[in-house]
Structure 1
């Protein structure tokens, strides 16, 4: 019987710790570090995530790694549809049944895509997602977000749970010690901010790292006509040797230190600057000179 006190809204009952363990036992699922599996078992946490995602009734949510369905069940009442991308065939096959059991009036909103989120393509989605809300596998969180933003122009916003240190890097600005490649590449697509911490105790198994939420909103217009295939290698080169000035760090990318200096000066950037001092707009100006 569904626990009415765990209701996420009309027709939806969330999973508590006992439910999560029961489902895992039924499926003979043992969370693996390889897939970054840590299942949320606290109803209050998933309610908080859905509230922070600020979803509109017509949003189509993309959830990556739904696992046993803890967050999925909380998302169903809050959106027009939920597209859940799951790499584990056992978990993917069970999720519709969990939705039917615990959210019978909302189960038709769920679409499950059996795929690797690092390689999924737009053509695999039955409907176009507008919002990414997910407890991401921590070992691939940044590349997954960047891949989905590139592959799905329909994604306008997101709220993701990641390792706390990764959250700091994703949301960092120029001059911060943790500002780097993830910060700049995400900033190319969207404005990002840290949206709160998540305690370890809400997961099973309990992870040995802290977690945090990152919220992002896609830019209404691209920063530049420069393609990311030009910009992203520049960003990679700038941070590959953080102690070097940009004149030295970009010498391989530009072909020589002299050419790197020429491009930097043409972009209005001091060649003695280091990568962590530049905003995404600065990198864009350098890329425009190179393009």
Structure 2
């Protein structure tokens, strides 16, 4: 068993490093061992899995992942925390220390992880994500690392609602539709504010994402995502008007919608990912093939 971090451990460690949580990097450190073990359990981490963790901070979740005998590649933007993490793991989980690789970088710039500690590409993303970049980080990793089979992230509760929302719901929007391109998504539980230091002003939740095949289409992902962005740029607008920017005109948008078998007065919030794919296929220059 690893010696996981508790509330006093987190504060003592931060003080010893001269580090304090910053809003710039959206840092809220988990101080509850039960919470990080719960995350590992829900994520289905198994011995030998190669897990990529974004924003490990002081190492609360990192230690729990290593305790499950996973191999961990941790990506940390804060240079002080990145340099301190190996020593924390060596002290508190010495038998698993060799299974950790730390990369000091902005997660949104990471394009390759090399072999890391495992010699194999990562198959899971498990992280307590900074609230201010959670959706971009998730989408970036799903696109950049097709070997990721499963994602379990802790995010702001409202973001969890948006990611897991079905078409037609009040919270369905750009994050919901883009996440659905890659995964089946569901909320996997709530997280109390008291497990963090500092205590955030918002509630948190867990989101579980299971990779599935992307839609079968000749339309590039970039075109599908451009259609999604345009469709939700003015939520109250019908698609005929909302898609004029990507189609060239409202008339061209209407023609594409009719070709896709979608009523031009439909709103974006009513469409699932398959509907956006059909629209992208119908836009000029896109040859549909199924």
TM-score calculated relative to the size of structure 2 = 0.94
Deviation for aligned residue 1:58: 3.0
Residues 77 and 106, structure 1, Cα contact 8 Å, conserved in 2: yes
1:245-276 deviations in Å (ceiling 9; x for gaps) = 00011112101111101100111111110000
4+ residue runs of structure 1 moved beyond 6 angstroms? none
Where does 1:68-87 land on structure 2 (aligned, <5 Å)? 68-87=58-77
Q: Which one of 145, 154, 166 corresponds to residue 147 of structure 2?
A: 154
Deviation for aligned residue 1:124: 5.2
Residues 113 and 125, structure 1, Cα contact 8 Å, conserved in 2: no
Q: Look up the match of 1:259.
A: 252
Deviation for aligned residue 1:57: 2.1
Deviation for aligned residue 1:235: 0.4
Q: Which one of 133, 142, 149 corresponds to residue 140 of structure 1?
A: 133
Q: How many residues align?
A: 281
CA distance in 2, matches of 1:232, 1:100: 43
Q: Which one of 30, 33, 36 corresponds to residue 43 of structure 1?
A: 33
CA distance in 2, matches of 1:160, 1:34: 20
Residues 223 and 281, structure 1, Cα contact 8 Å, conserved in 2: no
CA distance in 2, matches of 1:223, 1:34: 39
Deviation for aligned residue 1:288: 1.3
Residues 186 and 207, structure 2, Cα contact 8 Å, conserved in 1: yes
Deviation for aligned residue 1:229: 1.1
TM-score calculated relative to the size of structure 1 = 0.94
Where does 1:118-197 land on structure 2 (aligned, <5 Å)? 118-123=108-113, 126=116, 127-197=120-190
Residues 38 and 207, structure 1, Cα contact 8 Å, conserved in 2: yes
CA distance in 2, matches of 1:266, 1:260: 10
Matched, 1:104 2:94: yes
Matched, 1:55 2:48: no
CA distance in 1, matches of 2:48, 2:96: 14
Change beyond 3 A, Cα 1:257–1:222: closer
Change beyond 3 A, Cα 1:223–1:170: farther
Unaligned runs of 5+ in 1: 1-8
SS at match of 1:201: helix
Q: Look up the match of 1:94.
A: 84
Residues 37 and 64, structure 2, Cα contact 8 Å, conserved in 1: yes
SS at match of 1:83: strand
Q: Look up the match of 1:278.
A: 271
Deviation for aligned residue 1:55: 1.6
Change beyond 3 A, Cα 1:15–1:123: closer
Unaligned runs of 5+ in 2: none
Residues 123 and 148, structure 2, Cα contact 8 Å, conserved in 1: yes
Change beyond 3 A, Cα 1:73–1:192: same
Matched, 1:32 2:14: no
Residues 36 and 60, structure 2, Cα contact 8 Å, conserved in 1: yes
CA distance in 1, matches of 2:196, 2:281: 45
Matched, 1:233 2:233: no
Residues 83 and 125, structure 1, Cα contact 8 Å, conserved in 2: no
